[in-house]
Amino acid sequence: MVAVLVRLKLALLRNTLTRSVWALVGLVLGGLYALGLVAAAYAGFVALRLSGSPELVSGVTVIGFSAVTLGWVLFSVLVSGIDETLSPARFALLPLSARRLQPGLFAAGLLGLPGLATTVVALGLVVVWSRSVGTAVAALVAVVLGVATCFLLSRLVTAALAELLSTRRFRDIAVVVLALSGAGIGIGVNVVADSFATGTSWTGLLGRVTDVVGWTPLGWAWALPAAVAEGAWLGAAARLLLAVGLVVLAWIGWGHFLQVRLTSPLEGQSGSGKVRGGAAVDRWFGATPRGAVAARSLRYWRRDPRHLANLAALVVLPVLVVVMQLTQDAPNELVVVFSPLLVAFLLGSVLAMELAYDGSALALHIHTGLRGSDDRLGRLMAAGTLVVPALVVISVACVAIAGRWDLLLAVLSMTLGAAVVIAGVSSWISVFWPGHAPPPGANPFGKGSSGGFEALLSFTVVTGISFVASLPVLAAGIGSLWIGWLQWVALLLAVGIGGVALWLGVRVGGRALDRRWPEVLRSVTALDA
């Protein structure tokens, strides 16, 4: 079964690569990036090995690899999504139990760039601890347990969250909890770092952080060789026990969710319930094609978990920045004041995915003969209805927290100006690289393996163009720190450049969409069979 699933994964990978050039480019770039990381890591390992100080070695490796483990969990939840090529739901019709699938899915799951890179880098731990046979063996055990922990924890967390998110009742709560726990981790790290920073030497700090991290579930496995090196046999035994226990528990937990998924695939579990009201939304946008697009889009911001998660992330980000600043002894009020700009720039990646989120449903816009400009404008109207008030509230709140009311106009001009520029540019660019996304109701943490690159490309281009275009606004806004009247210039520039960007997004983007409808449909349906 293991060999079958691994071969299936490789065959699927080969087929995507032969079907799409972008997938190949993405794989090559990802591979180069991973190679770079591995090379850098090994350079570090060799340096550590030569330095010889066990405190330094254990400190750096324990903290580093615990961060990698945390990264696996956070990245699979928040950023990259897990590779769903071997989604358990696809095996639902076969007479297979989770118990039989699990080893194969585990092996096939590690057989991707992140898995391979993590394993190779982790093996460096053996190099670093190669001074004695005992520590080297301990390091090898740590590598096996640690890599397994990385993978299993990320699968367990995403599976549990996906389960929560699949029922509408829990979805809203789960999104908020997820967002808040992200913020919580940031704050926690800051507080811990702060409390340690008071009056300890640098090496003492390293030792204490290592101690703490080495006793968290993230570091149990990785701290094993260090404990052996110190001769702390009791600690080593305890860590070995804990690490093995964690792997076993995560394995069982993951198996449980696999079994659930095999018997009740996530799709269609959206729960029922009548939809009421909404007449106000329809009246607000008017009974025109573009008004209809706007009203539909606004409903999707509310009913589609992917949109909802994006919205939560947009709001949490500035909160995170502000709180992190406030927990420090000397908060930088300028960082607080300008943090809403982050939201504006993240907006690009959200808006650029709109077409991809529609998937094959987009065909409706095409065969009804909807004009491209109506599609573009309608979506912008819906996003604006949500984002503009949110940005104003966030900006005013940040200005109030920092107590810099003199900067209110500058902050509003910069934030709203940049947001409008980005909205316009992404509305234009996304017509050319719409990317694709898994359908709503599928695992919200799953991502197509090749759509990622097209999406990344469009995000880079959108952010690049928007940043350059909004530079005058940003420059005038920052200049107003010294010359007050420049904030009026920032306002004028924001209105002017924002207007041009909107024209670009709606008119030019709309005309491009009119020409490219079939190609856009083909791109966004790439994931459909």
Q: Least distance from C-beta 86 to another protein, angstroms?
A: 23
Beta-strand runs (E) in 286-431: none
Q: Which stretch binds another protein (CB under 8 A): 112-120, 356-364, 418-426, 492-500?
A: 356-364
Distance of CA 320 to the CA centre of its chain: 15
Q: Which one of residues 370, 402, 423, 502 is an interface residue with another protein (CB under 8 A)?
A: 370
Q: Are 58 and 108 in contact (CB under 8 A)?
A: no
One-letter-per-residue 3-state SS of 312-325: HHHHHHHHHHHHHH
Q: Amino acid letter at 313?
A: A
Q: Are 142 and 39 in contact (CB under 8 A)?
A: no
Q: Least distance from C-beta 222 to another protein, angstroms?
A: 43
Q: Does 366 bind another protein (CB under 8 A)?
A: yes
CB neighbour burial string for 115-142, b if at least 16 within 10 angstroms, e if fewer: bebbbbbbbbbbebbeeeeebbebbbbb
Query: What residues numbered 23-42 form the site for another protein, per CB under 8 A?
Result: none
Q: How many residues bind another protein (CB under 8 A)?
A: 46
Q: Does 358 bind another protein (CB under 8 A)?
A: yes
Q: Amino acid letter at 299?
A: R
Q: Least distance from C-beta 296 to another protein, angstroms?
A: 5
Q: Does 22 bind another protein (CB under 8 A)?
A: no
Taking the C-alpha atoms of residue 142 and residue 223, their distance in angstroms, rounded to an integer, is: 8
Q: Which one of residues 9, 171, 365, 436 is an interface residue with another protein (CB under 8 A)?
A: 365
Nearer to another protein, 103 or 518 (CB): 518
Q: Are 57 and 47 in contact (CB under 8 A)?
A: no
Q: Least distance from C-beta 365 to another protein, angstroms?
A: 7
Q: Which stretch binds another protein (CB under 8 A): 58-66, 95-103, 194-202, 510-518?
A: 510-518
The token pair that represents 104 in the structure block: 């194969």
Q: Which one of residues 72, 338, 428, 517 is an interface residue with another protein (CB under 8 A)?
A: 517
Query: What residues numbered 261-300 form the site for another protein, per CB under 8 A?
Result: 268, 270-276, 278, 282, 287-289, 291-293, 295-296, 299-300
Q: Which stretch binds another protein (CB under 8 A): 35-43, 108-116, 380-388, 520-528?
A: 520-528
Q: Least distance from C-beta 163 to another protein, angstroms?
A: 18
C-alpha torsion angle, residues 153, 155, 157, 159 (rounded to 10): -160
Nearer to another protein, 271 or 464 (CB): 271
The token pair that represents 290 in the structure block: 């573009």
Taking the C-alpha atoms of residue 358 and residue 71, their distance in angstroms, rounded to an integer, is: 30
Residue matched to tokens 């009913």:
303
Q: Does 172 bind another protein (CB under 8 A)?
A: no
Q: Which one of residues 183, 209, 363, 512 is an interface residue with another protein (CB under 8 A)?
A: 363
Q: Does 256 bind another protein (CB under 8 A)?
A: no
Nearer to another protein, 293 or 491 (CB): 293
- Residue 314: which of 348, 289, 291 has the closest Cα? 348
- Residue 302: which of 244, 386, 372, 242 has the closest Cα? 386
Maximum Cα–Cα distance for the chain, whole Å? Answer: 77
447, β-bridge pairs: 83
Q: Does 303 bind another protein (CB under 8 A)?
A: yes
Q: Helices 202-214 and 54-74 sit at what angle, rounded to 10 degrees?
A: 50
For residue 82, the SS3 value is strand
Taking the C-alpha atoms of residue 317 and residue 319, their distance in angstroms, rounded to an integer, is: 5
Nearer to another protein, 203 or 269 (CB): 269
Q: Least distance from C-beta 29 to another protein, angstroms?
A: 25
Nearer to another protein, 135 or 450 (CB): 450
Taking the C-alpha atoms of residue 377 and residue 510, their distance in angstroms, rounded to an integer, is: 8
Kindly write down the DSSP assignment for every residue of 374-386, as one continuous string.
Answer: HHHHHHHHHHHHH
Q: Least distance from C-beta 297 to another protein, angstroms?
A: 10
Taking the C-alpha atoms of residue 162 and residue 183, their distance in angstroms, rounded to an integer, is: 20
Nearer to another protein, 217 or 439 (CB): 439
Q: Does 93 bind another protein (CB under 8 A)?
A: no
**How many other C-beta atoms are found inside a 10 Å radius of the C-beta of residue 244?**
15
Q: Least distance from C-beta 241 to another protein, angstroms?
A: 47
Nearer to another protein, 49 or 511 (CB): 511
Query: What residues numbered 417-446 form the site for another protein, per CB under 8 A?
Result: 439-441
Nearer to another protein, 111 or 363 (CB): 363
Residues that bind another protein (CB under 8 A): 268, 270-276, 278, 282, 287-289, 291-293, 295-296, 299-300, 303-304, 358-361, 363-371, 439-441, 514, 517-519, 521-522, 525, 528
